[in-house]
Structure 1
Amino acid sequence: MEISSLSQSVSVQASAQASAKASLQLLQQTLALQAAGSANLAQPAAPVNPPNLGNRIDVMA
């Protein structure tokens, strides 16, 4: 194997490794943001309706 071919191969592998590392960091940040967003959605919401709503039913025959 020639030196130029070997150095080109190492360069391509280093570039691929850097790209994979950047993709992994982006994935980790995305998952962290999604976890934070889902934690906010999981918190119970305060009731919007007044407490007396639905306690009495008027029935006329």
Structure 2
Amino acid sequence: MRVTADGHIRQELRADGRHDEARGNCRSACTGCCTVTGNHLDHVHDTGFTDTGDLRTSG
């Protein structure tokens, strides 16, 4: 589970290669497939939108 510092965006990265993102009070605002390679994430959302990023620790 990835959560923004303010808790507004919560993203569950599941073991089956799917992700489910909640925003504010909206559950499952964004769903799709995800691939995690080390600290790198690639997402393909069910709508066809793609994004990528790297996991970092806050501090």
TM-score bracket relative to the smaller structure: under 0.3
TM-score, length of structure 1 as denominator length: 0.13
Greater strand fraction, Structure 1 or Structure 2: 2
Greater helix fraction, Structure 1 or Structure 2: 1
TM-score, length of structure 2 as denominator length: 0.14
